[in-house]
Amino acid sequence: MTIHLTAAIERFPIAGSFTIARGSKTEAVVVAVQLEQDGLVGRGECVPYARYGETPESTLAAIDALAPALSAGLTRADLQKALPPGAARNALDCAMWDLDARRAGTSVAALTDLSLPQQIETAYTISLGTPDAMADAAARAAHLPLLKVKLGVPGDVERLHAVRAAAPEARLIVDANEGWHGDDLPVLLDICAHCRVELVEQPLPAGQDAALADLDHLVPICADESVHALAGLDELAGRYDAINIKLDKTGGLTEALAVVQRAEELGLQIMVGCMVSTSLSMLPARLLASKARWVDLDGPLLLAEDRPDGLVYRGGEIGTGPSGLWGG
């Protein structure tokens, strides 16, 4: 009955490059976890994020350090206390859910009483670039229902107008990645409203949320970097209209479910998001789709190649069928 842990850093080339206000990258670096018990294998994946002080090496070390505890019977409830919210706990938590479902001969959806919608529309990300480059990318993706536009540096007004002109019928989300300033925010939000943007993610740096409390705005504002897990969530009510739940921030599906419940109690709308990663990261997050007004799980679409048995994407929709990769 002993659980055997295997974890490794893995790299997946990005198709081209991926650029946000904090920089560019050409590969997704993930930490993959396998938990094996009696011939059954549970899998998980996480994306260490330097913005939160994580590296692939430190994340792998934190996971490997729990190997003796896992062999001794560490439970998922124990895991929530053994590691803080973050990438390392996410990979292990999701692997434990997967293993639990396989041992029970059922799916993680059944264990959590969550059901997938018949259709799941996902945002597709338009990487930060020049107005012309972003317009070209938006034109190629204009047939998709929802585009997420990366902004957060000088020249955003021109970028947004260029994208809207190139994709006049697409729904738009804007993600400033903490790159806007309070003095400019009213004007930028008015321009977003004019361009029919339906959500603005994290316009101000985390920690400057108080400035949003008395701000009149037509477009809903969503917290991303300002919200990680349950701790601090209540303080965001009245400042944000929505929160972006990412399993790499909550530390896995277990706390994400608790965050969903509390957000609903606080009247916060829900977006479920991801880092650039494979379907092994998307599948646990996909379970939250029925709770979310916005779904942004396009990570595999940004890769040159996904894992085998990954999710199927068609026309901006995520396949809802079972997967042998994770979750049953």
Q: What is the pLDDT of residues 23-73, one digit of tens each?
A: 899 999 999 999 999 999 999 999 999 999 999 999 999 999 999 999 999
- Which single residue is written with the structure tokens 């008015």? 190
pLDDT value at residue 299: 97
**Pick from 149, 146, 147: nearest CA to 160:** 149
For the chain, where do the domains classified as CATH 3.30.390.10 start and end?
4-105
Token couple for 262: 């509390």
291 catalytic per annotation: no
Distance separating alpha carbons of residues 66 and 153, to the nearest angstrom: 41
According to CATH, what is the number of the domain 120-318? 3.20.20.120
Catalytic residue among 81, 148, 246, 291: 246
For the chain, where do the domains classified as CATH 3.20.20.120 start and end?
120-318
According to CATH, what is the number of the domain 4-105? 3.30.390.10
- What pLDDT digit, counting tens, does each position of 162-189 carry? 999 999 999 999 999 999 999 999 999 9
246 catalytic per annotation: yes
- What pLDDT digit, counting tens, does each position of 260-270 carry? 999 999 999 99
Overall pTM surpassing 0.85 (yes/no): yes
Catalytic residue among 25, 81, 148, 150: 150
